[in-house]
Amino acid sequence: MKRILIAAGAIAAVTFSTAQAEDLVFTLKNDTNSTLTRFYTSPVGVDDWEDDVFGEQVLEPGEAIELAIADGRDVCEYDMRFEFEESSNLETMEAKQDLCQLSSYTIHE
């Protein structure tokens, strides 16, 4: 299983405050027949997507990856955006999830 740490912007350092936010860790599974090429997250209510989580990596059909959102925010609900390879028959998909309650998320066709 692959593992990626998601950090907001270019800052990878943990931000400390009186109420320190915990990293949100979950497993993303690709249960489609297409390669997932880009994955974006953003807290619900934020109008812009954060950077592509995968960078140069992709998530092939049947693969899973453990992700940690370490953006220093104290929120649970995130919008997620999934983009697949151009030759795929899948459109871009979006979902809203409470990542504090989630240990895994599976993308289905």
The CATH number of whichever domain residue 78 belongs to comes to: 2.60.40
Note the pLDDT tens digit of each residue in 40-87.
999 999 989 988 988 889 999 999 999 988 888 888 999 999 999 999
Report d(CA 91, CA 59) in Å as an integer: 16
Number of folded domains that form the chain: 1
Give pLDDT, residue 83. Answer: 95
Q: Decide: pTM greater than 0.85.
A: no
Segment (H or E) for 65: strand 64-69
> Which structural domain range is residue 58 located in?
2-12+19-108
Give pLDDT, residue 57. Answer: 92
**Residue among 57, 69, 58, 55 at smallest CA distance from 98:** 69
